[in-house]
Every structure is written in structure tokens, then in C-alpha cells.
Structure 1
């Protein structure tokens, strides 16, 4: 599994055949500008050099698996200052063959603890590893029209959690949006994403409870603003056109963050 990359200070280029196979399987990568695809390839090689893949319950980590994850994981940080530094809080990536049943525990407003099982396709742990279902990673090759991508979802969580809080607002660069202070920049970000989340959540509730038309994005995004951010990032990167039609203010906001102007 790309063992020839491990431990090298400078990552060699990914073999042409492996790279072309990845672009063919995930067309939303190949459809980007040529300069982006070239940078994506180099960044994916760095990712493979720095991260460690583990197969759960006997699942085999092949070159195909590792490269598929790497190529999609680096897409959100392709133009971010610092690049892979955004993923610097972890090394391990655990891949299961399919979805996983995770045990959850929550406390309600009255202090009562509730335990339940949740089926998950992926999970990003704060300052810990990322877990992915290979079945769902593969599905990302076919679900761009729905804006679905489990790899981007989980790595968007990593970007969101970089400052320690999964609140739907990543760490913003100095001067973001023309704001002098980080507090003002954060407030401006919230002023765009919060109304979008509120409308989406209302649409999801109406669809689920009263049979209304379901929103385009994965309804899982209605769980919290951090989940909404991750779900929105999926759609932004794999189906920009439809995302822009559904969320024009978010498109402008994400463009300003994920593709900052060259200084």
C-alpha cells in the first residue's frame, strides 16, 4: 500500500496508471482545471506519505483504497494556506468494508442519559483518527449528483475542529472578508451559514413530519450546524453548480474560504 512513500521527506509522484484510474472512478476530480488536478496529485502523494491506513476486521488496504481516500481528502485543502497542516492533528485512517454500528450516549435537557445505536459511514474524531466505510467511499463515484461524499464530509469535520470547536465555522485567516478581527470574521461567517442552516433544518422537519418536499442535501445535515457545514462541503466540492443554485450565499462564502484570492 504505497509503502515506497512511507518515511520519505519528499513524496515521489503517484504512478500514472493508478492516478488515471482514480480520476476515471471519481469524475468530479478529473473535471477540475488542469492545474488543480496536477496539484491534487502532488498533495495526495504527500498525504499518503504522512498518514497511516488500517483495515478493520481484516479489510485489506490496497493501493486503490489508499489513493481513493487521499485524492478526495486533500480536495478541501487544495488551495487553503497551510495545505495538509489542516490535518495535522492525526495520523491514522481506519477503513471498514461497510457501514459501522456505533454506540452513542447523550444527555437531554433534564439530565437523563440516553444510549442508542447509530449506523455510520464515517467518523472524524477530535485529535484522533478518521474512520471510513469503503462501501461509501466507492459510492462517492456515483453520487455527485446528490452532493454526497463521505470522505469530504469527514475531512470537513477535521477542518471545522481545527480550532477545537465543531461549530460550523473553521479557523478563518486574518482579514477574512475584510474584517480586522477574528471575532468579526467569525460573526460574519455565522451571519451567512446560520440562516442557511435554519432554513434547511425547517425544510427537513417539514419533509419528515408532514410529507413536504425534501431538501436536496443529505437530511443528516439538519442534526447540527457542524453537520450542516460538513454536508454542505460535500456538495460544494462534488456538485458546485447545483450547490450554487441551492445556496448562493454559501457558495460565495465557501469560495472566499476554500479558494482565497492569490495575494
Structure 2
């Protein structure tokens, strides 16, 4: 059992953000400086709302101070920049460990057999429950990797129930096209992982199941989009349609990609 050492309720929406911590959080996640002049105030408005609407809990003596909360916030708001925070309406708690943690799960399969799993994690998303994160990993995102974006992608996926790689799509999107694009890409990716191929556009963990493929592809989509678009252009276009953002075009316009 973990011990909750500190619980913060977010600041009120109108409260000023600490400029130093805000700029530090924006600079830490390298795609964020590429946001346009219209997108930056949009992100800040979402950030204020996110901070005010979350309960922040620290484990093992961790203090979820504003620096850490803003680091989580800017990365969590990026996937819903064009969607809005209603997409996160089914959860409120952000649970932060100092670093990686060991998670233990007990579950029953369709045949009534009870299974127990235990393993190290840096993030976890519970259906209608908390977002669980390693503070160390929150503070060290890098191109292709963001534990916050990854777990938030799971949260979006879970709005349809299980995290199976197909979040609720917009009315103008085709579920059949989404499934065809992601299924073909996952099959090819899994074959590439087994063959230890050098063309893989993101972490091999994506081969675990379709839900992990969507989450890993999402963090790469936002933080290292060029390889995703090059290797899986159909998947990239489906994510552009779902997230209503084009990170590759954004980074290119900002001069951060050729």
C-alpha cells in the first residue's frame, strides 16, 4: 500500500502562473516552443483549467510543487489542445511517485482464472481512476518519449471502455479506416520488433497490444512525428484527424525540422 503524503487542489483558474516555472515547463518539452501565436494562449488557458480541476497527490514524501505540476500539465494539455478538457472529464487525480514504481495487478480472465502480475512502471492510467506518473520521467521527456502523453492517450482510449487502440472518433472519421490503418501498422510493427528491424519509428513496447501501440504512437506523434509519418503515413493521418493537430507541419513551420 502506498502512503499519500500531500494532496493539492489545483490553483483557481484566474490565478497567475509562475512565469519561471511556466517557461521552464514549456522549454522542457521540446515540441511546445513550436506552438503558434494562436496556440500558446490556448494552451495556457487549458493549463489553468487543468491545474484547477485536478487533485495532485504525492507518494513517498514527494511534494507535487508547482514546478512539477506544470511539467505534467503542459504535456497533458498538448493532446487535447484542439479537443478541450472535456475529454479528460472522467478523471481528476494525478498521483506522482518520485521515480519508477512497482505495480501489482490481480485480474480474472474470461474463463474465471485469476492472474497476478507485478512489474516496474513509470506511468499507469486507471479507467475512471488516477493518472499515475513517475516524477523523474515527467521532468525528463525527450523526442519520442513523454510518459504524460502516453498515459493521457490511454485515458482518451478508455473513453470507449478498454484501452484497445480505438478512442471515440469524431463524427467525420471512419472507424473502418482507423481500424484498417492501425491494424496493418501494428502487424507490421510487431513483425519488425521480432526481426529486430532498424526502421522502427518508435519504442518496441508498442508491439505489446493495440492499446499500447496507440499510446506509444501518440507520444511519438507529438514529440518525434517525422518517423511516424514516414513509416506509417496512414496512421499519422488518422491521428491528425483525431487529435486535430499536425505536429510535423507545426515543427516544420517553426524551423525545428527541415
TM-score range, shorter chain: 0.7 to 0.9
- Name the count of aligned residue pairs: 240
For structure 1, list consecutive stretches of 5 or more residues without a partner in the other structure.
177-184
The verdict on how the C-alpha distance between 1:105 and 1:220 changes in structure 2, with shifts beyond 3 A counting, is: farther
Query: Which secondary structure state, in structure 2, belongs to the residue aligned with residue 27 of structure 1?
Result: coil
Distance 1:198 1:11, change over 3 A: farther
Distance of aligned partners of 1:5 and 1:139 in 2 relative to their CA distance in 1, 3 Å threshold: closer
Q: Which residue of 2 aligns with 1:62?
A: 65
Shift, 1:106, TM fit: 5.8
* RMSD after superposition: 2.3
> SS at the partner of 2:118?
strand
Question: Does the alignment pair 1:45 with 2:54?
Answer: no
8 Å CA contact retained: 2:50, 2:73: yes
Which residue of structure 1 lines up, in the alignment, with residue 250 of structure 2? Answer: none
Q: Structure 1 residues 69, 169: CA separation in 2 closer, same or farther (over 3 Å shift)?
A: same
Alignment of 1:148 onto 2:161: no
- Structure 2 portions without partners, runs of 5+: 1-5, 247-258
2:183 to 194, 204, 225: 194
Select the residue among 185, 199, 203 that pairs with 2:192: 203
The alignment status of 1:168 with 2:128, answered yes or no, reads no
The two structures have a TM-score, normalised by structure 2, of 0.85
How far 1:59 moved relative to its partner? 0.7
More helix by share: 1
Deviation at 1:219, TM superposition (A): 1.3
2:206 to 209, 221, 226: 221
1:127 aligns with 2:112: no
Inter-partner Cα distance in structure 2 for 1:5 and 1:253: 33
Measure how far apart 1:116 and its partner are.
3.5
